[in-house]
């Protein structure tokens, strides 16, 4: 048993009042501290929070060294997340869903919850050493109603000794995950009824999740097909090891893997960039469309109630500076509409002028979402000068000329083809082919003039539909010789090069999000999520989200077959050769689920294999979460996947259950394997892979979300990178 001894417990709320010193910093919630209709002692706290509102409790004296937080809660599994905050430094913990602590909260009784600060869900990382002073219980988008009682900071948590998992990993290697002080002499391994001798073991403690350790057991003989049984203490684990799949690496056929595929939007710090090996960082998204570099004001449009605010990331110039200093290339977005935010306080749809709106900002209650209750846009359109100030190429030139820190790439705005939706207050009219082209050409010309070494990416189109048409609709296609938008755009940019005497487009830049709904996150949704990476490359994969729907394509056959990367590379070669291809927004659709990590590993391998030139994940995934682990697997802490892609041939390869990617750098060979099937391990016998000891990284399976690595002789790799 392991104990974390700190100091005496501290009550936050018991019976009918907050403890001395604690203050109510809640918002948007009806809170009764003396509720008696559901109680354990004298009373409890009744909480009814509107969307994204919260019960929030603050202590002027920080709680620095406690081991955890305990509370009792009752409700219909309320959609609540816990956040521990340091108000002095404006930092906070990861958002901790109540569902990560318990899925059995009911209305007829209280459920006791314990949050271990040394193993904070969803990733099991420590809370850290901040001057924590605030505890927030925040509702989700549909609000939350619940009762809460006996809120207490805990001084000591005893961790039970437990074998959490034991699973095959490589030729003669098992990985055993544990918590507490376990007895490894109790571990027994049996293959097909015969005992297997353990010759040695090595234990490591992941830096990001010290509450869990992993021990690698080396066996005296190799694993083989059949039934593997592992007993450890009071736990047992069993696997049916399949016959091996023969895989061959082709060393004769190679192409370069662009380093820029390992990018993210808005990395959080220099250490984040360096720890995960982030190669390009993007300043982008809806808020940059209204970014005013002369005051560092911005407005995220309909992402957040059309409110001006200070830029979340400060000055773009300073951002480029620190990101570049951390070792990452930069992609800076240039606003290209006619307006940018004039200050940090104005908003377009005040309740005093437009009282009949669908929703208002839960934090201030006065700025609206610009929609009537029936979902239609609020009219009349507000006067833009109330919230914005004019913007044009001359002002862009002034800004870019004054940059101390020069970006590697610039993008010409962000998804402006849908500005009449996302920024309906500043650009209410639907944007067509000609207007979008003119804006790209005009601002690209300025960028190339002021920053002669910069590369330009455009049009940063939001989704598949708008690759082929505009917000105006198919009449716009018809007005342009029945040509789909992206082929037309490439042809026009090629023509502009002849006129300008220089390239105004270096990267065809698109955003791509898997369209099928996997929000249920059940087994079917997870399996679908893992299949959808095939839409990046597979000419046989029918995108399930488009079946039975009309598509906007005129010249592109097989509308339900996306085959994004080969399709776009072919278009480029046909229309504007020499243009590179980038995906500046993409996502796994499940940042906190292990399948999201597997999708990301698979996608990064696909980007290298099929020759994407640049890609940036949306957005700033948690360094210690599943997406961060995917980047760590390829690039973390100075370890790098190879720079030359190598084909891997596997008989009876099924992309729904397996992804495999190989690369080389000089004499070194790297191999990444993704098992998408939670029901079974995968055994690979890889020929053309030099024998010897390999550096091995892994995550997933029953070992969960943690960074594990070891050295192993990998003749046969038994892979369990799954969502189990």
DSSP for 326-380, please give it. Answer: TT-EEEEEEP-SSEEE--SS-BSSBTTT--S-S-B-TTTS-BB-SB-TTSPBPSS
In a domain, 267, yes or no: yes
Q: Are 442 and 396 in contact (CB under 8 A)?
A: no
CATH number for the domain harbouring residue 46:
2.60.120.430
User: Do the beta carbons of residue 508 and residue 580 sit within 8 Å?
Assistant: yes
Please report, for the domain that includes residue 631, its CATH number.
3.20.20.80
Of the residues 154, 176, 204, the one at which a domain ends:
154
| Domain-embedded: residue 683 | no
Q: pLDDT, tens digit, for every residue of 231-244? A: 999 999 999 999 98
Band (pLDDT 50/70/90 cuts) for residue 546 is: low
| Domain limit, last residue, from 154, 174, 193 | 154
- Is 720 among the domain residues? no
In a domain, residue 376? The reply is no
Q: Do 458 and 597 reside in the same domain of the chain?
A: yes
In a domain, 697, yes or no: no
Q: Do the beta carbons of residue 18 and residue 24 sit within 8 Å?
A: yes
Looking at the structure, do residues 39 and 187 belong to the same domain, yes or no? no
Average pLDDT estimate for 558-567: 84
pLDDT of residue 684: 87
712 dihedral zone (left: phi>0; alpha: psi -120 to 50; beta) = beta
Do both 147 and 169 map to the same domain? no
Q: 163 and 232 in contact (C-beta within 8 Å)? A: yes
Same domain, 303 and 422: yes
* The pLDDT of residue 124: 78
Do residues 529 and 584 both lie within one domain? Answer: yes
Question: Looking at the domain assignment, is residue 102 inside a domain?
Answer: yes
> What pLDDT is recorded for position 271?
93
| DSSP H or E run through 148 | strand 144-154
* Structural contact between residues 51 and 139, judged by C-beta atoms closer than 8 angstroms: yes
Q: Is residue 356 part of a domain?
A: no
Residue reference for tokens 């750098």: 665
Domain ends where: 635, 660, 678? 635
- Note whether 124 and 146 are same-domain residues: yes
Pairing of strands 255-256, 263-265: unpaired
> Which residues, 6+ apart, have CB-to-CB distance to 549 below 8 Å?
none
Q: Estimate the crossing angle of helix 433-450 against helix 393-401, to 10 degrees.
A: 30
DSSP codes joined into one string, 657-720: TEEEEEEEETTEEEEEEEE--TT--EEEEEETS--SEEEEEE--GGG-SS-EEEEEE-SEEEE-
Are 50 and 187 contained in the same domain? Answer: no
Stated as kind and residue range, the H or E segment containing 567 is helix 564-575
Same domain, 485 and 624: yes
Q: What are the φ/ψ torsions at residue 19 (nearest 5 degrees)?
A: -65, 160
At 244-296, the pLDDT tens digits run: 899 999 998 899 999 999 999 999 999 999 999 999 999 999 999 999 999 99
Residue 255 lies in a domain: no
If one counts the domains in the chain, the total is 3
Calculate mean pLDDT across residues 417-422.
98
Query: What CATH code is carried by the domain that includes residue 208?
Result: 2.60.40
Separation of alpha carbons 212 and 204, rounded Å? 9
Mean pLDDT of 387-405: 98
**In the prediction, which pLDDT does 558 show?**
52
| 601 & 454 share domain | yes
Same domain, 203 and 313: no
Indicate if 113 and 217 belong to the same structural domain: no
pLDDT score for 198: 97
Percent of the chain with pLDDT over 70: 93
Most confident of 58-67, 174-183, 481-490, 552-561: 481-490
Question: How much is the average pLDDT of 154-171?
Answer: 88
Q: Containing domain of residue 572, as a range? A: 263-348+387-635
- Asked if 217 and 273 sit in the same domain, the reply is no
pTM confidence score: 0.88
């Amino acid at each position: 048993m392991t104990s974390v001894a700190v100091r005496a417990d501290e009550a936050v709320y018991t019976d009918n009042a907050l403890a001395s010193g604690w203050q109510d910093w809640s918002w948007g919630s009806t809170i009764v501290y003396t509720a008696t209709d559901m109680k354990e002692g004298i009373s409890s706290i009744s909480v009814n929070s509107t969307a994204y509102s919260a019960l929030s409790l603050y202590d002027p004296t920080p709680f620095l060294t406690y081991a955890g937080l305990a509370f009792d809660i009752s409700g219909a599994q309320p959609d609540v997340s816990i956040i521990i905050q340091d108000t002095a430094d404006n930092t906070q913990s990861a958002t901790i869903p109540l569902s990560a602590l318990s899925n059995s909260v009911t209305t007829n009784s209280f459920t006791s919850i314990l949050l271990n600060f040394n193993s904070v869900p969803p990733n099991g990382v420590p809370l850290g050493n901040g001057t924590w002073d605030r505890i927030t219980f925040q509702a989700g988008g549909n609000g939350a109603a619940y009762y809460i009682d006996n809120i207490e900071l805990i001084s000591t948590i005893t961790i039970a000794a437990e074998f959490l998992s034991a699973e095959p990993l490589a030729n003669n290697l098992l990985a055993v995950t544990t918590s507490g002080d376990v007895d490894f002499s109790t571990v027994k391994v049996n293959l097909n009824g015969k005992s297997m001798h353990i010759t040695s073991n090595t234990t490591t403690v992941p830096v990001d999740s010290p509450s869990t350790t992993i021990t690698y057991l080396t066996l005296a003989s190799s694993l083989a097909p059949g039934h593997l049984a592992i007993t450890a203490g009071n736990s047992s684990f069993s696997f049916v090891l399949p016959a091996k799949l023969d895989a061959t690496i082709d060393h004769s056929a190679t192409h370069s893997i662009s380093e820029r595929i390992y990018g993210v939007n808005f990395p959080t710090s220099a250490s984040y960039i360096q720890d995960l090996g982030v190669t390009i960082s993007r300043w982008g998204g809806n808020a940059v469309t209204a970014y005013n570099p002369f005051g560092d004001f911005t407005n995220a449009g309909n992402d957040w109630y059309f409110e001006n605010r200070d830029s979340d990331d400060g000055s773009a110039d300073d951002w480029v500076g620190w990101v570049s200093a951390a070792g990452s290339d930069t992609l800076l977005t240039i606003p290209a509409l006619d307006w940018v935010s004039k200050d940090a306080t104005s908003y377009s749809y005040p309740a005093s002028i437009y009282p009949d709106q669908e929703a208002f900002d839960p934090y201030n209650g006065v700025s609206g979402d610009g929609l009537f209750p029936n979902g239609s846009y609020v009219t009349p359109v507000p006067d833009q000068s109330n919230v914005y100030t004019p913007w044009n190429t001359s002002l862009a030139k002034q800004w870019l000329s004054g940059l101390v820190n020069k970006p590697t790439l610039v993008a010409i705005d962000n998804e402006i083809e849908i500005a009449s939706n996302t920024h309906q207050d500043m650009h209410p009219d639907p944007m067509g082919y000609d207007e979008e082209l003119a804006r790209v050409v005009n601002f690209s010309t300025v960028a190339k003039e002021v920053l002669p070494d910069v590369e330009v990416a455009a049009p940063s189109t939001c989704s598949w539909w708008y690759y082929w048409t505009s917000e105006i609709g198919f009449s716009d296609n018809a007005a342009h010789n029945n040509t789909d938008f992206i082929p037309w755009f490439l042809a026009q940019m090629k023509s502009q090069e002849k006129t300008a005497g220089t390239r105004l487009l270096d990267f065809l830049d698109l955003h791509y999000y898997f369209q099928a709904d996997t929000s249920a996150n059940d087994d079917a949704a997870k399996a679908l999520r893992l299949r959808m990476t095939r839409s990046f490359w597979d000419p046989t994969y029918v995108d399930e989200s488009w079946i039975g729907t009309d598509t906007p394509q005129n010249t592109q056959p097989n509308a339900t077959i996306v085959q994004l990367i080969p399709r776009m590379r072919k278009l480029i070669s046909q229309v504007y050769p020499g243009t590179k291809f980038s995906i500046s927004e993409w996502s796994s659709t499940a940042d906190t689920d292990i399948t999201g990590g597997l999708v990301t590993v698979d996608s990064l391998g696909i980007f290298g294999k099929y020759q994407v030139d640049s890609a940036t994940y949306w957005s700033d995934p948690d360094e210690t979460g599943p997406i961060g682990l995917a980047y760590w697997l390829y690039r973390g802490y100075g370890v790098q996947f190879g720079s030359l892609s190598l084909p891997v041939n596997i008989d009876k390869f099924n992309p729904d259950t397996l992804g495999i990617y190989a690369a080389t750098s000089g004499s070194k060979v790297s191999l990444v394997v993704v098992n998408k099937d939670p029901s079974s391990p995968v055994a690979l016998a890889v020929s053309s892979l030099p024998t010897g000891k390999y550096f091995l990284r892994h995550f997933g399976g029953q070992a969960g979300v943690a960074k594990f690595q070891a050295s192993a002789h990998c003749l046969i790799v038994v892979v369990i990178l799954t969502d189990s």
